[in-house]
Structure formats: structure tokens, C-alpha cells
């Protein structure tokens, strides 16, 4: 990544954010405004973030793409920060330079925010959003008034971003997808797991491990979950190697873990587990989201909070009311005996954890409607997706949500239909190219007692209300 200018936020600044409607950059805008800075932003479309931005005092406007950076001059901006969706052109860079405006990317402005508070950065290939939400909820309910920035809205908190009391901790979700998490300078670094993902950027799992090694090495305190996300109750050798190298606090179901999880029980929308810390039983722990992976995330949150001075006993009480985050096993509705749940899982490890947990939770059938995300990911990890999806009772696979990538010849959702059948030749799996096709199929395929999971990082969440409405229409 290119070197970024250093941003000083210790005095009030006039800041303009390009791509302000995006989830990550809008949350940064809300925090900057709460810090006392004058903040404006531009985007090419109005998004769902608009109302909260305006309520926070952020001036927002829709402009043509060619004006996204130019409007910063009208607001007298000293600093212009941009989302990854809208990198500056050479002309934008020249204009900023001649006007004396500092031009930085999202990671650099976030690093500047982190530099003003004691920061806990939560990263990992899977589970970082849920773990960040769990930790923010725990600290809030324990009376610590934390600052936080989460990739989804924690249901119990109502906001994805908040700036808490001076001197408090800042809990931030640290994105490893493009290496930007290495810029944050956090005092506490958390790694939930180490797995293959974003290979278009990293190239190999060895490069991913090396990045997490640098991430942990830059921190003073470290917490690492050493469980293998692909196998129940097994140690991941890469995670363990990192934990040992950096003398990290370890979490997991395996005996080497200092915070050791045991006897995980999942019942519909709740998870309960025992927890042993340094050989002493401190559980049980109960949270309002289902899944063995959520037990791991909760235990990581407890370990981090313990290191921040919130005892495990206080943390367990604070987590009792946790009911998840948006698009992380989010219950959209129940009708006709069918429960419809939406989830952001989009790589094989996430999908496997999601489906395996759902299978344990007590529904008659687990029906998955999966929207593949990115052609490169579908191509590179097709066999792993097939193995993960084959755990479901019934699978429907849509077309690929490209996320800006051009199609790759021979790669489509049908690629994953074949991968599921390769893994389990007798699987009940169908190809539904569009979301309209998926809705039509689901209307006749779902039965009372089913859990229907809509899964993916694209626009599949828009399918959920249609599924609930269709079940309501069938209900006598």
C-alpha cells in the first residue's frame, strides 16, 4: 500500500469524506463529528446511512462521480479521506496538492482516530464483526462507555459507531482484506482465526499468516483464538504458532487454550457453554446467537475485556443480553412455521460455521439460499464452498454477485451446484439464477419447521422480506 500522510486529529479539523454513504466511511464520519471536527461528505447516491449522518451533524450531498473530490474545496476542507470504492484520479491528487489539502485513504483516517484513544483492533478471517459487536456490547453493559466502530449494527446497541467517554477504550473492527489493518497502531490486537480468504489480494495463506504476524507484533497486548474454524474442537497450527510467537492470550476449545470453552449447547437462537480460565471454571456463559463459532467469539470478547480490567464474571453478566448484529444470523421473520434468517457469510469457513451451527440448533430442515460473492472467490474456493454447503439439508444457489469484478468464462453459481454434488452426490441442490427465481422456488419448497438461511455479501438480504411475505400468504 502507498504511504499515507500523517493526520493530526488533536485539534479541530475540517474534513471531507468521499464515498460517505458506505458503511465503513459513514461510521468514520459519525465518529469524527462526535470528536468535534467539522465533517462533510459526498457520494454518487443517497444511502441508508444518510439519516444518521445528518443527525450527527455531518453535511452530505449527492454529486456526479467526477465531482466527488472537487466539492471538498467548497467546504474549505483541510483533509479529504476516501473510501476504497472511489480512489482519487491523478487530477484529483494534483488539485488537492496545489490547494494544500491532505488526501488520505480510509485506513489512514481511521489510524488517526485510533491514535487518539487506547485502541483494541479485532481482526481475523472470520468472526471479526461478531467479536467486535460482542466486545462493544460487553463493555457498554458493564458501564465502561466504550467508543466503537463495528462493521454491522449490534442489535442491542443500535449504532455501528459511537464515540464514548474521554480516556475510554476504542474497539474497532480491523479489516484484513486489503492489508489496511496493519496501519491502525492498536495497543491490543485480536485475531479470531487464520484462514484462506481475499486471495486476490494476498495470494496465499502464507502471506495471510505473515500479515497477522505483523499485526500482532505491532501491539502491546494480544489475544488469539487457536481453534481451527474448519474443524470442531481442533487446534489450528497457524494460529497457535502466532500465539506462541507473540506470547498471546489463547482462547478455544482445545486444552492448550488459557480461556478454554467446553460443553457447547445450541438451542435455536441461543448458545450456552462452559468456560475455564487458567484451570478454574468461571462459566456457564449464555448468548442470544446460535453457533459454536459464536461461543468462540464470545470467549474471545471475555478474554479481551478481562485484560482491560473487566472481570470475566462481570463480562458474563454483560453478555447475557447479547442478541447479535445485523446480517449475522439476523432473524428477519417467522411465518407459516418457517424461520427466515439472513447472514453475511461469504467465504467457505464462514459458510461452514453458519450451516454447521444451524444444523445443531433444532430445526427440522436447514435450507440455504446462497449467493456467491465475486467470480475469483467462486473459482478459487469452489470445492471448499461445495463441502460447506453440502452440510445443509437443501441448497439453492443463485448467480454470482460480482462486486465490481468482470465475469470469468465458465464460472457461475452453477459451478457451486456441481461442487456440492461432487461432495455429496445425493444432495438436494438447485440452481436459481436470479433472486426472483429464488423467491419462486422458495415459495413452493419451504415447509413448516424449516430454517431458511439467505447467505452472502451481495444484495441477497433483499430477498428475506419476500420470503416472509410468501409464507404469510400461504398461512390459512
Q: Which residues are catalytic?
A: 128-129, 173
- Helix ranges (H only) for 372-463 are 375-380, 382-389, 413-423, 435-445
**Max intra-chain CA distance, the chain:** 69
Instruction: At 85, list the grid cell.
Output: 470504492
* Cα–Cα distance, 212 to 206 (Å, whole number): 10
What is the Rg, in whole angstroms, of the alpha carbon atoms belonging to the chain?
A: 22
Instruction: At 359, list the grid cell.
Output: 444444523
Q: Please report, to the nearest 10 degrees, the dihedral formed by the alpha carbons of residues 386, 391, 397, 399 taken in order.
A: -40
Q: Name the phi and psi angles at 405, rounded to 5.
A: -80, 140
* Cα–Cα distance, 181 to 217 (Å, whole number): 13
Confirm if 250 and 217 have CB atoms less than 8 A apart: no
- Helix ranges (H only) for 127-204 are 128-141, 199-202
Confirm if 153 and 159 have CB atoms less than 8 A apart: yes
* Cα–Cα distance, 314 to 332 (Å, whole number): 31
3 state DSSP class of 40: strand
Confirm if 25 and 81 have CB atoms less than 8 A apart: yes
DSSP, residue by residue, 445-468: H--TTEEEEEE-SSSGGGGHHHHH
* Cα–Cα distance, 404 to 339 (Å, whole number): 32
Helices 382-389 and 348-360: angle between axes, nearest 10 degrees: 10
Instruction: At 307, list the grid cell.
Output: 485484560
Amino acid at each position: 500500500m502507498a504511504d499515507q500522510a500523517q493526520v493530526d486529529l488533536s485539534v479541530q479539523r475540517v474534513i471531507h469524506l468521499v464515498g460517505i454513504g458506505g458503511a465503513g466511511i459513514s461510521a468514520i464520519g459519525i465518529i469524527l463529528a462526535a470528536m468535534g471536527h467539522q465533517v462533510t461528505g459526498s457520494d454518487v447516491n443517497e444511502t441508508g446511512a444518510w439519516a444518521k449522518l445528518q443527525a450527527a451533524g455531518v453535511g452530505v450531498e449527492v454529486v456526479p462521480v467526477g465531482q466527488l473530490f472537487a466539492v471538498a474545496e467548497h467546504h474549505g476542507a483541510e483533509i479529504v479521506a476516501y473510501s476504497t470504492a472511489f480512489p482519487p484520479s491523478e487530477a484529483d491528487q494534483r488539485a488537492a496538492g496545489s490547494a494544500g489539502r491532505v488526501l488520505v485513504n480510509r485506513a489512514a483516517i481511521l489510524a488517526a482516530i485510533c491514535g487518539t484513544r487506547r485502541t483494541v483492533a479485532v481482526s481475523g478471517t472470520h468472526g471479526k464483526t461478531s467479536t467486535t459487536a460482542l466486545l462493544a456490547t460487553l463493555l457498554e453493559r458493564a458501564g465502561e462507555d466504550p467508543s466503537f466502530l463495528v462493521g454491522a449494527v449490534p442489535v442491542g446497541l443500535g449504532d455501528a459507531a459511537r464515540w464514548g467517554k474521554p480516556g475510554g477504550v476504542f474497539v474497532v473492527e480491523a479489516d484484513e482484506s486489503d492489508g489496511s489493518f496493519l496501519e491502525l497502531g492498536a495497543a491490543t490486537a485480536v485475531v479470531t482465526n487464520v484462514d484462506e480468504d481475499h486471495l486476490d489480494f494476498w495470494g496465499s495463506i502464507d502471506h495471510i499468516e505473515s500479515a497477522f504476524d505483523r499485526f500482532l507484533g505491532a501491539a502491546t497486548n494480544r489475544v488469539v483464538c487457536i481453534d481451527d474454524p474448519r474443524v470442531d474442537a481442533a487446534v489450528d497450527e497457524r494460529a497457535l504458532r502466532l500465539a506462541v510467537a507473540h506470547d498471546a492470550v489463547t482462547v478455544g476449545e482445545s486444552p492448550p487454550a488459557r480461556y478454554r470453552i467446553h460443553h457447547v449447547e445450541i438451542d435455536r437462537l441461543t448458545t450456552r457453554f462452559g468456560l475455564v480460565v487458567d484451570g478454574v471454571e468461571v462459566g456457564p456463559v449464555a448468548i442470544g446467537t446460535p453457533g459454536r463459532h459464536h461461543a468462540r467469539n464470545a470467549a474471545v470478547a471475555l478474554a479481551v475485556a478481562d485484560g482491560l480490567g473487566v472481570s470475566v464474571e462481570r463480562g458474563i453478566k454483560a453478555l447475557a443480553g447479547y442478541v447479535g448484529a445485523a446480517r449475522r444470523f439476523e432473524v428477519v421473520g417467522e411465518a407459516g412455521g418457517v424461520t427466515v434468517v439472513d447472514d453475511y457469510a461469504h467465504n467457505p469457513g464462514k459458510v461452514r460455521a453458519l450451516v454447521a451451527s444451524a444444523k445443531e440448533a433444532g430445526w427440522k430442515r436447514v435450507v440455504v439460499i446462497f449467493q456467491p460473492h465475486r467470480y475469483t472467490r467462486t473459482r478459487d474456493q469452489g470445492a471448499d464452498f461445495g463441502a460447506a454447503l453440502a452440510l445443509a439439508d437443501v441448497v439453492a444457489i443463485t448467480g454470482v454477485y460480482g462486486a465490481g469484478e468482470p465475469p470469468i468464462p465458465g464460472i457461475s453459481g452453477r459451478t457451486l451446484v456441481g461442487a456440492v454434488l461432487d461432495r455429496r452426490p445425493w444432495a438436494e441442490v438447485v440452481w436459481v439464477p436470479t433472486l426472483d427465481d429464488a423467491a419462486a422456488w422458495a415459495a413452493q419448497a419451504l415447509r413448516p419447521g424449516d430454517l431458511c438461511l439467505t447467505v452472502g455479501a451481495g444484495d441477497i438480504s433483499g430477498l428475506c422480506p419476500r420470503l416472509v411475505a410468501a409464507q404469510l400468504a400461504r398461512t390459512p
